[in-house]
């Protein structure tokens, strides 16, 4: 599954597209994994197994600049009928932050989930400092704060 590459609204130098792992060429996949490692492992000084096996069934929203991946997120399908779809691995390259890309990607993911899994809700585990960001996108807190790999998170859903 690969969607048609489109321009990011308000930033014609950036393109976005949905992919499954099978539809990524090796360079694109490498860029995706390198971005996630740079953000989640190196920047956050968090040693953990980034490749968790879930990417195989996920849909990946990639934002590119001059063919390089500069932002990404993944959507995991619901495991069973009535379950929630899960948004995760939301990352934006340091040089492209504060431009609304994370908001654009989460809104895009909300729309995709509504089309692909219309009877499902959406959940995510937000880093606690981003709670306000996700509240502004219509998510609500649905549990207590917890530590994941030493970083405070809060479960949220819509």
Higher pLDDT pick, 41 / 113: 113
Q: Percent of the chain scored above 70 by pLDDT?
A: 97
Please give the mean pLDDT across all residues of the chain: 92
Torsions phi, psi of 59, nearest 5? -105, 135
77, 109 contact by CB (below 8 A): no
Torsion of CA 33, 138, 140, 36, to 10 degrees: 10
Task: Outline where DSSP puts E strands in the chain.
Answer: 6-8, 11-19, 59-65, 68-76, 85-92, 122-127, 140-141, 146-148, 151-157
pLDDT of residue 119: 85
Q: Which of 62-66, 79-83, 101-105 has the lowest mean pLDDT?
A: 79-83
What would the mean pLDDT of 106-125 be, rounded to a whole number?
94
Q: Does the structure show a pLDDT above 70 at 88?
A: yes
- 114 to 16, 34, 88, 111, 140: CA distances (angstroms): 18, 29, 16, 5, 17
- Residues 106 and 85: their CA atoms lie apart, in Å, by 13
**Residue 101 to residues 16, 36, 84, Cα–Cα distance (Å):** 10, 15, 24
């Amino acid at each position: 599954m690969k969607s048609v590459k489109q321009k990011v609204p308000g930033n014609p130098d950036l393109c976005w597209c949905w992919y499954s792992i099978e539809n990524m060429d090796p360079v694109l996949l490498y860029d995706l994994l390198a971005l996630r490692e740079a953000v989640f492992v190196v920047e956050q000084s968090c040693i953990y197994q980034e490749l968790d096996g879930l990417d195989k069934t996920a849909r990946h929203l990639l934002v590119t600049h001059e063919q390089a991946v500069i932002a990404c997120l993944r959507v995991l399908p619901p495991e069973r009928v009535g379950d929630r779809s899960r948004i995760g691995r939301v990352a934006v390259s340091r040089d492209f932050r504060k431009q609304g890309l994370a908001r654009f990607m989460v809104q895009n993911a909300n729309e995709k989930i509504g089309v692909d899994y219309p009877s499902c809700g959406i959940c995510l585990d937000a880093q606690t400092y981003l709670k306000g960001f996700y509240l502004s996108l219509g998510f609500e807190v649905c549990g207590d704060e917890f530590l994941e790999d030493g970083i405070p998170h809060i479960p949220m859903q819509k």
